[in-house]
């Protein structure tokens, strides 16, 4: 057994002081849907509802083994890493200073305070994470504290590898044929693959990252970590501009066909399905591994597959946005601009074209007294995507001028 595998086993044993192994559950719904044996490794059920506690605890434990006097730890995070560090600080009875962006939702701040209690202090600074990170590192140097990186740290990677140790222990004599891993900074992917490649060489892997934060895709193409020019922050648990150097060193064997990218709006469909059908609450990053199952349907048929659900820290204030995105991706909700004649009865003519399942969710009309036509912003929900084909055909036949802006990101952001 490799040195890394032995370290991962040691990290797993040490974690038992905090929590029992997270459940590995066979999911009948997904197994039947894809004609496969699909299991969910429920990292959304750790004490902080994400796997990040594993890496934070392991890194803190190992630092204190080297220097028992180390009693002040610093991190920069707007989410799961902050909560993991806070929990570990309280466990070890050490001080923690956690830097978070000013824009961090209050729910995440409150949860971090709950996990850390009197052991931690939260500092809100910077509108963007890069500013927050710089402030945290500067403070750490001045205070002589220990900085805990979220993923670019060898001890953190060892801690995340404990997920794989548990999977093999829980599966017994039948290891998985395939493990699907979400990727952000790369710590979880590096740890899990590092252990399984040493102990279960027959197991294959697929990696999935958000379309708007494909840092592993970029690194594989370039042969080294590269910074993305833009990152879509919706999948906040995996929206990383640049994969970590240490994780990527462990992932250099990954080839392009093993990496999949999940559209942010499609992830919302998966989140709602898991909530409504299975009663499982997942954050966007936590749904990544399940979201790509349809793309892998032919490859996974008849195989034993493990999807790692990496986190469940979902703020239900975001639920309307998730539903909106899911409807738009599924073609059940569209926005369009209609050029409406300014004459009596024009609006009635339009309304009579709507089908029995068409529901107006948005309607804004600005009458221009000096013009013969006015612009109307309309949002419509329906039950079948084909209903829009029928509606738009009616509009064309009646001579209405209209424009579908559902996929126009600039207009949608401004108007919707």
User: What is the set of active-site residues?
Assistant: 52, 310
Sheet holding 72-76, edge to edge: 120-124, 95-100, 72-76, 146-147
Helices 106-116 & 80-92 angle (0-180, nearest 10)? 20
Apex CA 289: angle with CA 283 and CA 293, to 5°? Answer: 125
Residue 102 CA to residue 392 CA, distance in Å, equals: 44
Q: Is 352 exposed, middle or buried (0-12, 13-18, 19+ CB in 10 A)?
A: exposed
Residue 403 CA to residue 334 CA, distance in Å, equals: 11
Name residues whose C-beta falls within 8 Å of residue 150's C-beta, 6 or more positions apart in sequence: 52, 55, 75, 77, 81, 156, 185, 187
Helical H runs in 172-263?
187-199, 215-222, 245-250
Q: For 25, phi and psi rounded to 5 degrees? A: -115, 130
168 HSE (CA, 13 A, CB side): 19
Check if the beta carbon of residue 138 is closer than 8 Å to that of residue 76. no
Would you give the DSSP letter of residue 300? Answer: H
Residue 103 CA to residue 176 CA, distance in Å, equals: 40
Helix (H), strand (E) at residue 142: helix 129-143
Tokens 């070890």, located at residue: 92
């Amino acid at each position: 057994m490799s040195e890394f595998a032995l370290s991962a086993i040691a990290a797993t044993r040490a974690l038992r002081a905090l929590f029992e192994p997270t459940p590995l559950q066979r999911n009948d719904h997904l197994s039947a849907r894809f004609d496969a044996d699909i299991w969910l490794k429920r990292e959304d059920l750790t004490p902080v509802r994400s796997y990040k506690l594993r890496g934070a605890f392991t890194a803190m434990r190992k630092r204190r083994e080297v220097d028992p006097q180390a009693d002040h730890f610093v991190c920069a995070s707007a989410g799961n890493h902050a909560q993991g560090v806070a929990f570990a600080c309280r466990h070890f009875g050490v001080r923690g200073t956690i830097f978070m962006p000013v824009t961090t939702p209050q729910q995440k701040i409150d949860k971090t305070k709950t996990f850390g209690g009197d052991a931690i202090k939260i500092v809100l600074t910077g509108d963007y994470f890069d500013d927050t990170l710089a402030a945290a590192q500067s403070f750490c140097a001045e205070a002589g504290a220990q900085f805990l990186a979220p993923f670019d740290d060898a001890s953190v990677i060892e801690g995340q590898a404990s997920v794989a140790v548990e999977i093999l222990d829980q599966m017994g004599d039948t290891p998985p044929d395939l493990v699907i891993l979400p990727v952000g900074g790369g710590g979880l992917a590096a740890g899990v693959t590092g252990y399984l490649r040493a102990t279960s060489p027959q197991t294959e892997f697929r990696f999935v990252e958000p379309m708007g934060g494909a840092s592993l895709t970029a690194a594989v193409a370039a042969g080294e970590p590269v910074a993305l020019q833009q990152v879509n922050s919706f999948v906040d648990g995996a929206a990383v501009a640049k994969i970590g150097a240490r994780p990527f060193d462990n992932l250099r064997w990954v080839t392009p066909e093993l990496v999949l990218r999940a559209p942010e709006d499609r992830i919302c469909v998966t989140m709602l399905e898991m909530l409504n059908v299975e009663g499982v609450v997942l954050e966007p990053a936590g749904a990544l591994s399940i979201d790509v199952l349809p793309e892998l349907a032919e490859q996974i048929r008849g195989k034993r597959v493990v999807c790692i659900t990496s986190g469940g820290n979902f703020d239900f204030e975001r639920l309307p946005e998730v539903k909106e995105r899911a409807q738009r991706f599924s073609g059940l909700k569209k926005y369009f601009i209609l050029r409406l004649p300014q004459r009596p009865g024009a609006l009635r003519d339009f309304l009579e074209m709507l089908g029995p399942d068409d529901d107006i969710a948005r309607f804004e009309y600005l009458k221009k007294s000096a013009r013969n036509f006015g612009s109307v912003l309309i949002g419509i929900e329906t039950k079948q995507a084909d209903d829009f084909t029928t509606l738009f055909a009616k509009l064309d036949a009646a001579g209405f001028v209209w424009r579908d802006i559902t996929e126009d990101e600039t207009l949608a952001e401004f108007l919707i």
